[in-house]
Chains A and B, each alone.
Chain A
Amino acid sequence: MDETQQRLANCFQVVFPDLTPDAIPNASTAKVAAWDFVAALTLMNVVEEEFGLQMDLDDLTHLDSFENLYSYLRKRLQAA
């Protein structure tokens, strides 16, 4: 895991405390029952706080897995 992945994993751990560290990189809305709309909003806010950026609610539907969130973050961080 690179640093961004690790920080993102920490965000997942806060929002989904029942998720084991091994399961986090493969987490998605399809695999994690607790990942509902409310959890998605919370995760978005926690990621915003961790990475110091503002995310758009319009992006929410695409950010449906650890992998997609990681890709999104890499782009945002590179652009910054």
Chain B
Amino acid sequence: MTITEALKIAQSAPRGARSFAVTLACGFTPLHLQTFLAAHLQQALPDRKVAISSGLYGNLAGTLEAISDAALPDGLVIVLEWADLDARLDYRSAGAWSLSAEDDIVASARAVLERIAAALVRIPSGPRVALALPTLPLPPLFHTPGWQASAQQMLLQSDVTRLAAELAQDGRVAIIDMQRLAEESPAAERLDLKGDLYTGLPYSVQHADKLASPLARALVPPAPKKGVITDLDDTLWSGIAGEVGPDAVTWDLASHTHLHALYQKLLASLAECGTLIAVASKNDPAVVEIAFQRKDLLLHPRQVFPIEVHWQAKSGSVSRILETWNIAADSVIFVDDSPMELAEVAAAHPAIECVLFPKDDYNACLRMLRHLRERCGKERVSTDDAVRLDSIRQSAVFREQASSGAAPESFLQQVGAVVTFDFAAGDQPRVLELVNKTNQFNLNGRRYTEADWRKLLAASGTVLVAVSYEDKFGPLGTIAVAAGDLREQILWVETWVMSCRAFARRIEHQTLKVLFETTDAREIAFDFTPTAKNGPLRDFFASLLGEEPQSQFRLTRSQFDATCPALYHEVREMRRAEAHG
């Protein structure tokens, strides 16, 4: 990105857009860093107006200490440099580079780091915080020759790393990966010494851009991909199972096919974190079944669902997998070693991301593995992530039995459904995640930053309920969230989402019933906006109203009671008293 492009992007915010306020805490003139940060954030939040305020020059800790409840930003970016820890580490300083100063620099840096840590602890929870550790080279002030690190240098680095590790463990601060940054912005090209000495602007233009990009992503993380669909032969393993036999395909060091083991390990790790994994392979199902019984597979078969194995087009397999998962193609990556298969799938599903498995190119394969982690990686893994695949598998059984076996009414009666309403779950990460990633059953498509969400939760009169579901097929986890506020016996619902996995169980009816009963509302006013994807919710509303709503509307208790079908759930309520004081 050039500065010209960054300025144009930063100026592209819609007129009257809601502000997204960011405090940029750094000890130097942030000029280009601020420009690029504004641009990257504006790209991530096109409906908002990004406004960045920088702190006091040369006083990073003071900037953090000045942040108060009264003026809490939506995001906080901390860019630490060595000069912030001791003035003698600042190229602009006249402080002596003496041997006797080395230990003192370490001691004073430690004191500043403690001050920064204390200031961060005092900042109320709410804004997302991104932290970059020092990116510029230390001045050549230590006594060792340049190729050798001095003990003092190592102490400085370990103190900074320890602080970052503590903050990362705490979970409130996203730490920029400095190794990754080094690949994007080589160390030797970061410092603009003339700029620093003339203007207090130490970053080269390129470095400012390369650092701003992950900082923006740390504040406004992109939604991770939800699923990976993988080929088998020469992708999940080396060899063609139908030709060499299921026992002769390999993924080990001795066969020089360990790249496939790494791929299996990555998929297993992604599955453990809630990414859905499925197979689309042109193969003999009986052969694949035997291969999947092998004990040395590093991706366990229970981590994979569904498995589409036949000789028909893979685009058809992908369609069925997407239908089973009930997610859109743009949330999925398809991996195959054949460019032709990738092209066939891409033609049928233009939104899917197709990734070549480069089986003969080790460096390209490593890049691919890292790319998959980058696209699917998660900041936190919730308990709902762990049950996602099982719940989809169980949903498939549910749908199959509901449509083929007994009549739907009696089927619903005998599934043993339990719906749990938690009225104090607003601060659980899964709740905001669900609000921000649900499309089909979504009241208005509105997305929230963490700061927006916390403001909504903190507002007086807010009613929020998180809904979980389980039946004899197993738990679905937290599958719905509704939030609004109660005024004069009208519940104004601003947000209502439900996972597509939970469709066809009348959970949406039960949710409205519980909301009417627990709030004693006469009416529920829905802040409804039709979107390109929320057709299922429109259909549900049409079943209650007799026609599709086009915008905001109200539903009376009697309207609901007249149209609500029989509900067979056992209803459990949690923390209602806690939420309502």
Binds A, one of B3-11, B60-68, B430-438, B573-581: B3-11
Q: Are B199 and A46 in contact (CB under 8 A)?
A: no
Count of interface residues, chain B, beta-carbon cutoff 8 Å = 16
- A40 — nearest CB in chain B belongs to which residue? B199
Please give 9 more A-B residue pairs, beta carbons under 8 A apart, in addition to A17-B11, A42-B31, A49-B4. A14-B8, A41-B201, A42-B32, A45-B205, A46-B4, A49-B2, A49-B3, A57-B194, A57-B199
Alpha-carbon distance A46/B199, docked complex (angstroms): 17
A37 / chain B contacts, CB cutoff of 8 Å: 199
Q: Which residues of chain B are within 8 angstroms of A1 by Cβ–Cβ distance?
A: none
Q: If A14-B8, A17-B11, A57-B194 touch, does A45 touch B3 (CB 8 Å cutoff)? A: yes
A38 at the interface (CB under 8 A from B): yes
A-B contact pairs, 28 of them (CB 8 A): A11-B4, A14-B4, A14-B7, A14-B8, A15-B7, A17-B11, A37-B199, A38-B29, A41-B199, A41-B201, A42-B3, A42-B31, A42-B32, A42-B35, A45-B3, A45-B32, A45-B205, A46-B3, A46-B4, A46-B7, A49-B2, A49-B3, A49-B4, A50-B4, A57-B194, A57-B195, A57-B198, A57-B199
Measured CA separation A11–B35 after assembly (Å):
15
Q: Which of A4-24 contact B (CB under 8 A)?
A: 11, 14-15, 17
Shortest A71–chain B CB gap in Å is 22
Complex formed: what's the CA distance from A37 to B31 in Å? 10
Per-position binary interface string of chain A over residues 46-74, scored 1 when its CB falls under 8 Å from any chain B CB and 0 otherwise: 10011000000100000000000000000
Consensus secondary structure, chain B interface:
helix
| Residue in B7, B8, B29, B32 with the greatest tally of chain A CB atoms within 10 Å | B7
Residues of A participating in the B interface, judged by any CB pair closer than 8 Å: 11, 14-15, 17, 37-38, 41-42, 45-46, 49-50, 57
Closest 4 CB pairs of A and B: A45-B3, A57-B198, A49-B2, A14-B7
What chain A residues lie within 8 Å of B2 (beta carbons)?
Answer: 49
Please indicate the chain B residues that have their CB under 8 angstroms from the CB of A42 in the complex. Answer: 3, 7, 31-32, 35
Question: Which residue of A has the minimal Cβ distance to B11?
Answer: A17
- How far is B32's CA from A14's CA once the two chains are assembled, in angstroms? 14
A50 to B7, CA, bound (A): 13
Q: In whole angstroms, what is the CA distance A71 to B195 when docked?
A: 24
- Cβ-neighbour of A38 out of B3, B11, B31, B198 (below 8 A): B31
Can you name the residue of chain A whose Cβ is closest to the Cβ of B29?
A38
Q: Which residues 21-66 in B have Cβ within 8 Å of A in the complex?
A: 29, 31-32, 35
